[in-house]
Amino acid sequence: MDMNTVEAMVPTSDPNEFRTGDAWLAGGTVLFSQGSQTLTRLLDLASAGWTPITVRQDGIEFAATCTIAELHALPGDPAVPPAWKAMDLVRPACDSFVASFKIWNLSTMGGNIATSLPAGPVISLCSALDASLEIHAPGGTVRRETVAEFVQGDATNSLQPGELIRSIFIPVHALRARTAFRRLSLTNLGRTGAMVIGRLDEDGLFTLTVSGSTTRPMHLRFGPDEYPTPALLLSRLDETIAPADYHDDIHGRPPWRRAMTRRLGVEVLGELLPSFGPGNER
């Protein structure tokens, strides 16, 4: 794709160097596939040399430049405690890219979140696990926001000019949870049309995260005293997700996305809470 207005590639991760006409460059799989007639400089984050993954007692910190290949390789790493059962989600989420060699090895977690597509697998994974972002702004301020709040719609998020996603943090309480994963696409190797991830925390909190079918990630949460039956879950889905929240493009029309979300939601309920799933209407 043409980017013939770009005059310079600057190796920096300092938001104070950002000026109008700049874009942060991570893996480049969006920037170089879409092209641009307006960008004048690319600020190359690869030069930052950030450690891709840091496993800590309180969770896992990923540099924004961590690649999908590096994320995919994490489960089974001896540094990751076996009790962190939610690591089971990592590989199915990465595989949801149905990615080429280039995307797999170059595209980054931060780039996926900043692109904010409904079918962003890193967005789905991170939202389901209550991940938060560390965002650096020009002037030196730093703010934190959950991934689910950060993504506001199709290719829309809370980033302000010059702001940089520095890292993503997944907290230990979510990593210790049991999880269930469902994904559907209209075609065998197609883009995600609906993804539903269930999480059952050690304290009994049940979280259902809907993404892919909706323009932004959406949570439904139930305490141990309010676990839903399938019928209740379906009515909560309709209360939480308005018709306009379902994404509409060539990868799926809203009525199909809604129907698949409902089907996958009930499947996830049945897997994580079998005594409340299908056949247990009361």
- Under the rule (CB under 6 A), what is the footprint of ligand FAD? 23-31, 33, 45, 64, 97, 100, 103, 106-108, 110-112, 114-115, 117, 119-120, 159, 164-165, 191
**Shortest gap between Cβ of 238 and ligand FAD (angstroms)?**
26
**Shortest gap between Cβ of 164 and ligand FAD (angstroms)?**
4
User: Which residue number, 105 or 229, has a Cβ lying nearer to ligand FAD?
Assistant: 105
**Shortest gap between Cβ of 270 and ligand FAD (angstroms)?**
27
User: Which residue number, 95 or 267, has a Cβ lying nearer to ligand FAD?
Assistant: 95
User: Which residue number, 100 or 235, has a Cβ lying nearer to ligand FAD?
Assistant: 100
Instruction: Compute the residue count for the chain.
Output: 282
User: Which residue number, 115 or 207, has a Cβ lying nearer to ligand FAD?
Assistant: 115
Q: Characterise 139 by phi-psi region: left (phi > 0), alpha (psi -120 to 50), beta (else).
A: left
**Shortest gap between Cβ of 121 and ligand FAD (angstroms)?**
6
**Shortest gap between Cβ of 280 and ligand FAD (angstroms)?**
35
Can you name the residues that pair with 54 across neighbouring β-strands?
61
Q: E strands, 49-175, where? A: 53-56, 59-63, 132-136, 142-146, 151-153, 156-157, 164-171
**Shortest gap between Cβ of 107 and ligand FAD (angstroms)?**
4
Residue-wise burial string across 83-111, b where 16 or more C-beta atoms lie within 10 A, e elsewhere: ebbbbebbbbbbebbebeeebbebbbbbb
C-alpha 255/C-alpha 263 separation (Å) is 12
Q: Are 242 and 253 within 8 A, CB to CB?
A: no
User: Which residue number, 115 or 132, has a Cβ lying nearer to ligand FAD?
Assistant: 115
Phi, psi angle pair for 93, to nearest 5°: -65, -45
Tokens found for residue 256: 């199909």
Q: Measured in whole angstroms, how far is the alpha carbon of residue 47 from the centre of its chain?
A: 24
Q: Please state, in angstroms and as integers, the Cα–Cα distance from residue 64 to each residue in 59, 122, 131, 156, 234, following that order.
A: 16, 11, 13, 18, 35
User: Which residue number, 195 or 266, has a Cβ lying nearer to ligand FAD?
Assistant: 195
- Which residue has the CB atom at the shortest distance from ligand FAD? 111
**Shortest gap between Cβ of 282 and ligand FAD (angstroms)?**
39
C-alpha 91/C-alpha 68 separation (Å) is 10
User: Which residue number, 120 or 265, has a Cβ lying nearer to ligand FAD?
Assistant: 120
**Closest among 231, 150, 245, 235 to 220, alpha carbons compared:** 235
